[in-house]
Structure 1
Amino acid sequence: HLKYQLKQTPENHFKNILKCIEIAENEGLNTNVYLEDWSNGMADSRNYVYNYLDFISKQNVARVLLPDTLGVLTPEMTSEYLSELVNRYPNIHFDFHGHNDYDLSVANVLEAVKAGVKGVHLTVNGMGERAGNAPLASVVAVINDFLPEVKINIKENALNKVSQLVATITGFRIPANKPIVGENVFTQTAGIHADGDHKRNLYFNDLLPERFDRKRKYALGKTSGKANIQKNLQELGLTLNDEDLKKVTQRIIELGDRKERVTAEDLPFIISDVLGGEIPDKVKIDSYVLTHSKGLKPTTSISLKIEDKIFEENASGDGQYDAFWNALNKVYQKQKRSLPVLVDYAVRIPPGSNSDALCETTITWRNGSNDFKTRGLDSDQTVSAIKATEKMLNIMQQ
């Protein structure tokens, strides 16, 4: 760097540094010195680093900043280099500036603090050049848990809020599995882990979510067991007997096979759908094809089984469900049977849900002077309406 980037000799470089320090003193400013690419300097030109620091140690400098500019240090190298410098220059205030190119920045910061540096450079969410710098939240947790004798003044319960705020402002999203602040890091997915937590918190460690103003969650999906679901039911103040719990678990696993995740807010909808009363399964919508093309009316082809007889029809409509309904009407008209009138069609997702796993469609039907409702639940809006319609067909078939 000195030879090819600055094109200076060490002697000229030191003179220029001294001039800068003197100018700062005259202006009443403190001076910090930053040793660009210090880690490679220690590996390739250690004597030059010593000459540089011998010179700096005699100047009025507040801090000397030691960067692992290209993120090449291992924890062992960090410990060796910094211990050497701290012992050799006990009166210099050293800071360590770590980069994360090999995903070792947090481990390197830990070794730097153990070696006796007085300051470390961290960024919110690990933002920084290339792979970023050492992340603030992870380092705070590591120091508090593994170096309790080192006192820091950062409030753990504010880290997550700050992280989310910075992510929103900068547009740099937080990976879901990022320690401390990631969306999924306090979420148990496997049923065996939820079961262990239920039986004496067997899968807890010192990284309790409450430290960071967060809550432990139990994911619902294809790997869910009964324990996951029971934990979520407890949060909602609900209880189910073993047989109903088994039915709900099976439905969640089915949904999980098609979508990544089901949330706790989805549970009341699932329970209502699964346990909402048994309807005889005499009419079955075996198959359907829904098409929607720009400039053309939506069309639907259906295959319907009524009392073990198969009927097929197709139709177009103003929307996918309207096309489905028109095809269904054709089947019943040919059988000289009438269908109830659709008087209301309501679609909703679970309140507060941040998942697209479920959609509930409630349809109100009028048969003569009587109104009744059926509900369908699915991850697809049109399919949930078709499921609600299938329930209506079975009620009418009784």
Structure 2
Amino acid sequence: MKIKVLDTTLRDGEQTPGVSLTTKEKFRIATQLDEIGIDFIEAGSAITSEGERKSIKEITKQGFNAEILSFSRPLKGDIDYCLECDVDAVNLVVPTSELHIHDKLNKTPDELIDLSNNAIDYCKDHGLTIELSAEDASRSDVDFLKSVYVEAIDHGADRLCVCDTVGILTPDSSYDLFTKLSDLKAPISCHCHNDFGLAVANTLSAIKGGAVEIHTTINGIGERAGNTSFEESVVSIDRLLPDFSTDIKINQIYNVSKLVARLTGVYIQPNKAIVGENAFSHESGIHSDGIIKNSATYEPMTPELVGRTRKFIIGKHMGTHGLNSRLEELGLQVNEIQLQQICDDVKELADKGKTVTDVDLEIIADNVLAIDHEDRIRLDEVTIVSGNKVMPTASVKITIDDEQILNAGVGLGPVDASINAIKSIDIFRDVDLIEYHVDSITGGTDAFIDVIIKLQKGEKVVSARGTEPDIINASVKAYIAGVNRLLRE
């Protein structure tokens, strides 16, 4: 059975605290949602503001394949704003729990049904498709909920939605509720919140109970603990529910996830399923070995399925198989003895609490491989003049191919001046410094300084390191070491 997807990232997702999207940002997200195969896009809530209506209009005029909706209360004013935005449909939200009807609206159940029916009639008179969403349906009396839905169908509602507004369903109660509503003569959808971390599980149970449409947000963003995660739901349907499917282009999921994270500024936790940075990362030696032999040993799906790539993490838990795979990716070939020594050195460094980067790995490998080379460039001397009223100036003496060269430079600080003094020499001029990082290895004012840099020449990028008590010497040595490596390669 085909399951339809309504994405409410641009409405419910934007209600995430601290998130406010511009018209251009909403348009970019809507375009990606349409391209990935979303069936229904809730573009916003037209009643909210003039800026919101501008954003919705920008989306509706594009002629997307997806049906474009606006959120609306069962009020004529809300519906008129939806019509002004030229949406295809409205997500007409009607509270159905006693708590909401009495305490929030101060109405009787009969008055609520009349309000709902009148709003549906007004929408139908103006040619709108209607999805009637029962707010707080999971805490509503089921018989009353059914009566609201039956009346809505009689007045022309096209689809029905059960909203678990405060996320109190469990997979069992979700299945039971949707089973009880499955005899209604209209398609029924599921809108879950994640207050207890069960939104995706409840959504999957709703599908088994008879839901044919799900409401989601990208990365599960939304108010409080968020909404049903789009990527987790869609991939779970594809992988875990063999009798159901969607029209979503699953291999584009990661791209849209990163876009929404970037535009909303909402951080994706590293261990988040499907799209978290650790979702397809492996450090354990046992896991890495199994993955290399057959990825199914420790992955329920291939990373390529969702537009990802696999990563082997360098650390003390890494085994030789995963380490060798990473070395090969870095272009380093080693024998078994060298591989074991590199592995031992990596673990020794990790045991000291240091994160082992690719730069560390390359340096460790270079030391183990004992590469026999003679550097063309050698640092002989660095002299610095700096003070409160003096432009930092550096003079460097280096030897290039047995020719000694003395050069000077100025900069914003002594390190900058030293690097500038080197860069103005011919052999350095087509080398770009693209990354510079400093760590203090030990404590105190006499600490050893670890300078790590990345240099680029043409399409070739190399990393290099300099470790000295003096940050200037460490920086210059790292720079020269990097250029020597570029020249060798």
- 2:103 corresponds to which residue? 4
DSSP 3-state at the match of 1:57: helix
What is the CA–CA distance in structure 1 between the aligned matches of 2:145 and 2:152, rounded to whole Å? 10
Relative distance call for 1:26 and 1:106 in structure 2 (3 A) is: same
CA distance in 1, matches of 2:325, 2:437: 19
The equivalent residue for 1:218 is 312
Would you say 1:62 and 2:158 are equivalent positions? yes
- 134, 145, 148: which one pairs with 2:228? 134
Provide the rounded CA distance (Å) in 1 between the counterparts of 2:287 and 2:468: 27
- Match among 165, 173, 179 for residue 83 of structure 1: 179
Identify which of 130, 133, 146 aligns with 1:50: 146
CA–CA separation in structure 1 for the residues paired with 2:438 and 2:208: 43
| Structure 2 gap segments, 5+ residues each | 1-99, 373-387, 389-412, 416-420, 442-449, 455-463, 479-489
Once the two structures are TM-superposed, the CA of residue 353 in structure 1 deviates from its matched residue by 11
Q: Pick closer, same or farther for the CA change 1:231–1:170 going to 2, 3 Å.
A: same
Instruction: Map 1:259-270; keep pairs closer than 5 Å.
Output: 261-264=355-358, 267-270=361-364
Residues 202-211 or 70-79, more deviating: 202-211
- Contact kept, 8 Å, 1:349 with 1:359, in 2: the verdict is no
TM-score, length basis structure 1 = 0.69
Q: SS at the partner of 1:4?
A: helix
1:32 deviates by 2.2
Distance 1:260 1:143, change over 3 A: farther
Distance apart, 1:63 and its partner CA: 1.3
8 Å contact from structure 2 (residues 178, 206) kept in 1: yes
Shift of 1:265: 6.0
Shift of 1:277: 6.0
Q: Tell me, yes or no, if the aligned pair for 1:124 and 1:166 is still in contact at 8 Å.
A: yes
SS of the residue corresponding to residue 31 of structure 1 reads strand
Could you tell me which amino acid in structure 2 is paired with residue 76 of structure 1? D
1:3 is paired with a residue whose SS is helix
Q: 1:112 to 1:361 in 2, by over 3 A?
A: closer
Distance, in Å, in 2 between the alignment partners of 1:204 and 1:112 is: 29
- CA 1:155–1:350 in structure 2 vs 1: closer, same or farther (change >3 Å)? farther
| 1:376–1:384 contact (8 Å) kept in structure 2 | no
Output the CA distance in 1 between the equivalents of 2:433 and 2:345: 16
Distance in 1 between residues matched to 2:433 and 2:312, nearest whole Å = 17
2:133 maps to which of 30, 34, 49: 34
Partner of 2:102: helix, strand, or coil?
coil
* Distance of aligned partners of 1:354 and 1:140 in 2 relative to their CA distance in 1, 3 Å threshold: farther
Once residues 218 and 345 of structure 2 are traced to their aligned partners in structure 1, the CA distance between those partners, rounded to angstroms, is 40
Unaligned runs of 5+ in 1: 279-293, 295-318, 322-342, 363-374, 390-398
Identity of aligned residues (%): 31
8 A contact 1:74–1:104 mirrored in 2 = yes
Residue matched to 1:327: none
Between 249-258 and 102-111, the greater mean CA deviation after superposition: 249-258
| 1:7 to partner: Cα distance | 1.2
Displacement of 1:260 in angstroms is 6.0
Residues 138, 361 of structure 1: CA spacing in aligned structure 2 closer, same or farther, 3 A cutoff? closer
Cα gap change, 1:13/1:255 in structure 2, threshold over 3 Å: closer, same or farther?
Answer: same
Alignment match, 2:65: none
Paired residues of 1:124 and 1:163 also in contact (CA < 8 A): yes
Q: Which has the higher contact order (CA 8 A, sep 6+)?
A: 2
How many Å separate the matches in 1 of 2:286 and 2:173? Answer: 40
Match of 2:39 in 1: none
What is the CA-CA distance between 1:261 and the residue it aligns to?
A: 3.8
1:27, distance to aligned residue in structure 2 (A): 1.6
Normalising by structure 2, what TM-score? 0.57
Kept in 1: contact 2:129–2:158 (CA 8 A): yes
Structure 1 residues 74 and 97, CA gap change in structure 2 (3 angstroms): same
| 1:378 CA drift (Å) | 6.4
Structure 2 vs 1, CA of residues 49 and 244 (structure 1 numbering), >3 Å: closer, same or farther? same
Deviation digits for residues 254-301 of structure 1 (CA, Å, limit 9, x no counterpart) = 3324556434465333322443469xxxxxxxxxxxxxxx9xxxxxxx
**Alpha-carbon spacing, 1:122–1:66, altered in 2? closer, same or farther (3 Å):** same
User: What is the CA RMSD across the aligned residues, in angstroms?
Assistant: 4.1
> 1:191: which partner in 2?
285
Alignment CA distance shift 1:190-1:61 (3 Å) = same
Are the counterparts in 1 of residues 232 and 273 from structure 2 also a CA contact under 8 Å? Answer: yes
Kindly report which structure 2 residues correspond to 1:374-389, keeping only aligned pairs within 5 A, or say none. Answer: 376=465, 382=471, 385=474
Aligned residues: 321
Go from structure 1 to structure 2 and tell me whether the alpha carbon gap of 1:159 and 1:349 turns closer, same or farther (over 3 Å shift). farther
Contact 2:116 2:152 in 1 (8 A): no
- Structural mapping, 1:1-398, within 5 Å: 1-41=100-140, 45-87=141-183, 89=184, 91-201=185-295, 203-258=297-352, 261-264=355-358, 267-276=361-370, 359-360=451-452, 376=465, 382=471, 385=474
Cα distance, 1:204 vs. partner?
3.5
How far apart, in 1, do the equivalents of 2:251 and 2:171 lie? 28
Q: Which has the larger radius of gyration?
A: 1
Query: Closer, same or farther in 2 for the Cα pair 1:259/1:380, shift >3 Å?
Result: farther
Q: Write out per-residue CA displacement over residues 174-218 of structure 1, whole angstroms, 9 at most, x where no aligned residue.
A: 111111111111011111211222344463433110111211111
